[in-house]
Amino acid sequence: MTGERIELLLEFGVILLSPVVHTYYLWKVKQVDASVIRQNIKIFSVLYALLAVGGILLFLK
């Protein structure tokens, strides 16, 4: 069961990498307003925090 949980954690981690790449693209190439980038960071920081808590709980259990 632990292998399945680790796999899920890795899959969600990879899925959450795409917003980082997209935000970087918007920032460097499209020169989007800073408020849009801050909004993206706020939204996805919550998801990264949940992923980190899940990883910590997985490895401490």
Q: Which residues contact residue 15 at a Cβ distance below 8 angstroms, ignoring those fewer than 6 apart?
A: none
pLDDT value, residue 48: 86
Give me the chain's average pLDDT, please: 84
What is the extent of the structural domain holding 55?
2-60
pTM of the predicted model over 0.85: no
pLDDT value, residue 14: 84
pLDDT value, residue 9: 80
Choose among 15, 13, 20, 19: nearest CA to 55: 13
**Could you tell me if 44 and 16 are in contact, meaning their C-beta atoms sit under 8 angstroms apart?**
yes
Mind spelling out the 3-state secondary structure of 14-42? HHCHHHHHHHHHHHHHHCCCHHHHHHHHH
Number of structural domains found in the chain = 1
pLDDT by residue, tens only, the chain of 61 residues: 578 878 888 888 888 888 888 888 888 898 888 888 888 888 888 888 988 898 888 778 7
